[in-house]
Amino acid sequence: RYPLLFAPLDLGFTQLKNRAIMGSMHTGLEEAENGFPRLAAYFGERARGGVGMIITGGISPNSEGGVGAKLQTKEEAQQHRVVTDAVHATAPDVKICMQILHMGALAHNPQCVAPTAVKSRIGSFTPRELDEDGIEKQLADFAHCAAMARQSGYDGVEIIGSAGYLLSTFLVEKTNLRCDQWGGPFENRMRFPVEVIRRVRAAVGADFILIFRISAMDMLEDGMSWDEILILAKAVEAAGANIISTHFTWHEANVPTLATMVPRAAFTQVTGRLRKALTVPLITSNRINMPDVAESVLARGDADLISMARPMLADPELILKAQQGREDEINTCIACNQACLDHAFSARMTSCLVNPRACHETELNYRAAPAPKRLAVVGAGPAGLAYATVAAQRGHKVTLFEAADEIGGLFNLAKRIPGKEEFHETLRYYRRMIELHGVELHLNTRVDAATLRAMAFDEVIIATGVEPRRPLLEGIDSPKVVSYADAILGRKSIGKRVAVMGAGGIGFDVAELISHTGVSASVDVKVFAREWGIDFENHPRGGVTGVQPQVAAASRTVYLMQRKTDAVGKGLGTDNRMDPPADTEAAGGADDQWGRVSEDR
Ligand code: SF4
């Protein structure tokens, strides 16, 4: 099964047992009370789950680096030892590398530093420009941090040189206005990242994994050109990196690279092009969430290694299940970002929408029930499904009642929205869990209290969901007024000019569905590239410079209305929200306080 995914990779001084990597993701455990023992349990579970190498969330080399967790002192090194010991004890053949993250201008810290005092569009502070001494200090801190990582038991480090963090801001002209040896021509702009690699390699020795994360397509107007990326990658290789990891955006870019609307493996072709010019192994990533997708990326020759971060939150046993032919038991990451990245970027503890145990491994455990009961669960939406299958897994005898003719509740609406096709995976997973754990499922069955009483259950769990609120608006009884469920399920016809009242997540989903034309961009990379203005073939600067997004014309005009005067979409999750495209008209302050946006598609 998956011969390429399970092929070992020889790095000379060490070997990776397979091509599956748990990619870096900051969880919040790094700064939490008792966080390192919790991290040890979190990573230990993923190591047991079959992955070949783990890369931790970002750890700063110094306080300017901006992450709450840093590695500079012996005391800090001792905390990391808890994690590395746990992973190596659990799975001696699994490698663990620490990501060194210096946030530069994106640090939430008034002391933040950068090559030039240019404030990022999404930054909190204008950074202080580094002088020559400041640059030397940063270089020394990177090298010291890597040496401490080695002392802490890590098998390697990953240095992030992308995303708008410190190293990448040296590379791009708009964030590096210097005229000294660290700015100006590209050879000077890449001097700092390359010097970081040299210093780190010198500090850790030859037999330590050194991964460098490069922006292979930064999605910035006037970002890096393809030639510059090639020059940088070759210099990174020559400076001592063992592996290059490709990254596809800066956080401030306006192109989605992680959301569920992004096609699976959409960006791996860029890694593939870079791979042809290099000799070190390359990691690719982004929206690779199932083993067959990983295998086909490897088969195309796009990469040597596959990084999966969120999929490992959703299912710590993803790789093991793939190896054992249990793919239908994989709890697939649906790229919703709701409990992982949205939490990480708002300084909340990370978890996973489809796996609430993620990052709670020491406190949320499903132990065998000491006295199994007969349980009735009413409602087979996501809550009822989660309860029923976990209770059955623990040994209870569970009967699940659902009034509809299929499981899923509101997920059955969500899966119909163009760009949310991944929601089918969660329903597939629960169908299998019902079967696996012996839940007795009754579809098309609306139960009442008398029926449940007559069946003498020990306990009844009500998970029937919510009824949509019906606002008291003049005209609400007009035949022209349609509920969102009727609109999404196609139970009522929709006209050519439509007002969607409410611009929250559901309002956006309805607007997307009824204004959509043609194939869903999330299942076709070419359509996705056209709609977001990405040129994969010619790779202009940033992949996007001078490329106009083209969205197929809609067959109806949709007005998306909200009471708030904020920009529409502001309340949506940060990682699924992009700035409005240039052709979107936003107008607030109609008489009744409903703002509006005309979706021109
Ligand atoms: Fe994936 Fe959503 Fe879970 Fe994040 S919260 S890991 S995106 S399923």
Q: What percent of the chain has pLDDT over 70?
A: 95
- Regarding the beta carbon of 288 and ligand 1, being less than 6 Å apart is answered no
Mean pLDDT for the chain? 93
pLDDT at 336 over 60: yes
- Regarding the beta carbon of 336 and ligand 1, being less than 6 Å apart is answered yes
- 3-state helix/strand/coil string of 28-66: CCCCCCCHHHHHHHHHHHHHHCCCCEEEEEEEECCHHHC
Query: Phi and psi at residue 360, in whole multiples of 5°?
Result: -130, 30
Pick the residue whose CA is nearest to atom 8 on ligand 1. Answer: 333
CA of 445 from ligand 1 middle (Å) equals 31
- Ligand 1 nearest-atom number relative to CA 260: 7
Pocket test of ligand 1: the residue of 42, 257, 333 to mutate, having most ligand atoms within 8 Å of its CB, is 333
Segment 172-181 mean pLDDT:
97
Segment 22-28 mean pLDDT:
96
pLDDT of residue 467: 83
- Regarding the beta carbon of 310 and ligand 1, being less than 6 Å apart is answered yes
Report the range out of 247-261, 263-277, 562-576 with the highest average pLDDT. 263-277
pLDDT at 325 over 70: yes
Residue of 154, 165, 429, 430 marked catalytic:
165
- Ligand 1 nearest-atom number relative to CA 334: 8
pLDDT of residue 83: 98
**Any idea which of 9-18, 343-352, 446-455 has the lowest mean pLDDT?**
343-352
Pick the residue whose CA is nearest to atom 5 on ligand 1. Answer: 352
- Regarding the beta carbon of 414 and ligand 1, being less than 6 Å apart is answered no
For 176, what's the count of Cα atoms within 13 Å in the CB-facing half-sphere?
30
C-alpha dihedral over 99, 104, 110, 115, to 10 degrees? 150
Measured distance between the N- and C-terminal CA atoms of the chain, rounded to whole angstroms: 43
- Residue 68: CB partners within 8 Å, gap ≥ 6? 30, 31
- Regarding the beta carbon of 335 and ligand 1, being less than 6 Å apart is answered yes
- Regarding the beta carbon of 337 and ligand 1, being less than 6 Å apart is answered yes
Between CA 354 and CA 343 the distance in angstroms is 14
| Collapsed DSSP state (helix, strand, coil) of residue 342 | helix
- Condensed to tens digits (0 to 9), the pLDDT of residues 452-505 reads 999 999 999 999 998 888 888 899 999 999 999 999 999 999 999 999 999 999
The Cα-based distances of 250 to 162, 528, 593, 596 in angstroms read 7, 18, 36, 30
- Ligand 1 nearest-atom number relative to CA 339: 5
CA of 57 from ligand 1 middle (Å) equals 16
pLDDT at 311 over 60: yes
CA of 127 from ligand 1 middle (Å) equals 32
Between CA 400 and CA 156 the distance in angstroms is 48
- Regarding the beta carbon of 25 and ligand 1, being less than 6 Å apart is answered no
Pick the residue whose CA is nearest to atom 6 on ligand 1. Answer: 310
The DSSP letter of residue 369 is: P
pLDDT of residue 582: 36
pLDDT of residue 574: 63
- Condensed to tens digits (0 to 9), the pLDDT of residues 60-118 reads 999 999 999 999 999 999 999 999 999 999 999 999 999 999 999 999 999 999 999 99
Pick the residue whose CA is nearest to atom 1 on ligand 1. Answer: 333
- 154 assigned to active site: no
- Regarding the beta carbon of 262 and ligand 1, being less than 6 Å apart is answered no
